[in-house]
C-alpha cells in the first residue's frame, strides 16, 4: 500500500483469510491507515479509529484493549471476545497474521524506474524492464539485473553478476563478480556478497593465499541484513536456500551451504564449509565452527558455540553447545558449587549434589 491508498477492514481480512467474529457488515468498509500493537494504542498519537491492531497471545491475555481500534485481530479462542464491543477477527496464528498484514502497509518509497545520470552502467550489462539504478551505483560488464529490481545509491553489481526479478539492493551493497541472486532477494545497506573467503596455506615459506574460484548463490526471497558478509566458495559455490533470512552483522564463510526457511540472528559467524539445514533457527552471536552440520529443524540458543553436529529437531545451547536440558542442568549444578563447598568445608552431611 502506498501513501495515496487506503486499505479497508474487509480487504485486510480477505488478505488474512479471516472474517469478522464481532462487529457489523458496515465495519468492513472502514478505512485503515496504520497497523499497531496493544502498546501503540496507548500513545497520544494512536489514532485508533483508523488503526488495525494485531495482538499476540500474551497481549490478549491482559484483556480487551482501550481505546478500541477500528479492527482487532486476536488469537482464536480469546476468552473475552464474546463481550467485545468493536470489530474483531480471530486467527490461528497471530504472528503470521502480523507478517501478512505488515506487507499491506508498506510504503516502499521507490522512485520511478530509470538510470540516474551519476550511475555507471557498462554497455554490456542487461537491465530488465522497470529497473532503477540510483546515483553513484555501478553495474559492471555482463551483469544482468532482473525486471523491477532496484540498485541503491553507491551499490556495486560486479561483472557477470545476475539478479532475478524484483530484487532490492539498498545503498552501499557490494556484489562481487559472478554472484547469483534469485527473485525478490533483499540486501540491506553495506552487505558484501562474494568476497574471498579466509583461505590460506601456511608453510615454511610463509602464508600463501588460496584463490577462491567459486561463487555465491542466494535463492528466491532471501533477505540479508546490513553489514553482513557472505564469502564466495573456494572451488564450489557458497549457497543460501530460498526464504532464508540472515540478520545484520553476520559472517558466512566460504563453502557454507544453508537450507531454505532458516533464520539466523545478528552477530552470528558460520565457519567455512559448515552446513546449516532447512527450518533452522540460530540465535544471536552464535559461533559455528567450520565443517560442522546443523541439521534440519534444529534450534541453537544465542551466544552458543557450535563445535560438533547438531541433530535434526534438537535444541542446543551453551559454549560449547550441547543439548539444552543438559546445559540447563549444568548451570543449576554450577550455581550450587559454592553452597556444596561451604557445606563440605564445614563437614556437613549431604555435601555433594543430589
Residue positions annotated with a catalytic role: 254
Residue 165 to residue 148: CA distance in whole angstroms: 6
Residue bearing cell 526479478:
165
Q: Which long-range contacts (CB under 8 A, 24 or more apart) does 314-323 make?
A: 319/287
Paired residues of 181 in beta bridges: 218
Residue 234 to residue 81: CA distance in whole angstroms: 58
How many CB atoms within 10 Å of residue 199?
A: 16
Comparing C-alpha atoms, which of 165, 162, 211, 158 is closest to residue 185?
Answer: 165
CB 207 within 8 A of CB 200: yes
Q: Find all residues with CB under 8 Å of 104, minimum gap 6, and list them.
A: 1, 7, 11, 12, 15, 35
Which of the 8 DSSP states describes residue 189? T
Mode of pairing for the β-strands spanning 322-323 and 315-317: antiparallel
Residue 224 to residue 185: CA distance in whole angstroms: 8
Residue 323 to residue 344: CA distance in whole angstroms: 30
Residue 143 to residue 7: CA distance in whole angstroms: 38
φ/ψ of residue 251, rounded to 5:
-125, 120
Amino acid at each position: 500500500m502506498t501513501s495515496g491508498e487506503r486499505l479497508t477492514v474487509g480487504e485486510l481480512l480477505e488478505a488474512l483469510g479471516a472474517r469478522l467474529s464481532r462487529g457489523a457488515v458496515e465495519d468492513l468498509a472502514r478505512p485503515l491507515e496504520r497497523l499497531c500493537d496493544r502498546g501503540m494504542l496507548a500513545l497520544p498519537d494512536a489514532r485508533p479509529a483508523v488503526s488495525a491492531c494485531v495482538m499476540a497471545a500474551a497481549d490478549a491475555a491482559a484483556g480487551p484493549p482501550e481505546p478500541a481500534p477500528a479492527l482487532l485481530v486476536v488469537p482464536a479462542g480469546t476468552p473475552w471476545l464474546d463481550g467485545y464491543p468493536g470489530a474483531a477477527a480471530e486467527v490461528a496464528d497471530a504472528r503470521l497474521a502480523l507478517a501478512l498484514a505488515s506487507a499491506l502497509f508498506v510504503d516502499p518509497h521507490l522512485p520511478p524506474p530509470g538510470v540516474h545520470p551519476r550511475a555507471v552502467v557498462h554497455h554490456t550489462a542487461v537491465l530488465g524492464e522497470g529497473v532503477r539504478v540510483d546515483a553513484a551505483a555501478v553495474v559492471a560488464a555482463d551483469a544482468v539485473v532482473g525486471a523491477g529490481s532496484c540498485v541503491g545509491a553507491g551499490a556495486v553489481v560486479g561483472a557477470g553478476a545476475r539478479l532475478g526479478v524484483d530484487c532490492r539492493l539498498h545503498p552501499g551493497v557490494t556484489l562481487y563478480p559472478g554472484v547469483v541472486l534469485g527473485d525478490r532477494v533483499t540486501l540491506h545497506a553495506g552487505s558484501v556478497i562474494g568476497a574471498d573467503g579466509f583461505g590460506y596455506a601456511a608453510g615454511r615459506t610463509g602464508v600463501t593465499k588460496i584463490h577462491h574460484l567459486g561463487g555465491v548463490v542466494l535463492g528466491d526471497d532471501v533477505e540479508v541484513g546490513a553489514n553482513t558478509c557472505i564469502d564466495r566458495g573456494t572451488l564450489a559455490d557458497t549457497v543460501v536456500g530460498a526464504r532464508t533470512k540472515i540478520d545484520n552483522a553476520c559472517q558466512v564463510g566460504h563453502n557454507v551451504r544453508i537450507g531454505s526457511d532458516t533464520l539466523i540472528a545478528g552477530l552470528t559467524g558460520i565457519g567455512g564449509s559448515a552446513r546449516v539445514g532447512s527450518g533452522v533457527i540460530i540465535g544471536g552471536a552464535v559461533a559455528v565452527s567450520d565443517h560442522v552440520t546443523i541439521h534440519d529443524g534444529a534450534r541453537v540458543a544465542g551466544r552458543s558455540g557450535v563445535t560438533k553436529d547438531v541433530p535434526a529437531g534438537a535444541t542446543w545451547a551453551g559454549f560449547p553447545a550441547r543439548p539444552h536440558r543438559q546445559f540447563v542442568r549444568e548451570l543449576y549444578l554450577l550455581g550450587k558449587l559454592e553452597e556444596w563447598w561451604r557445606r563440605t568445608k564445614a563437614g556437613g552431611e549431604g555435601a555433594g549434589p543430589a
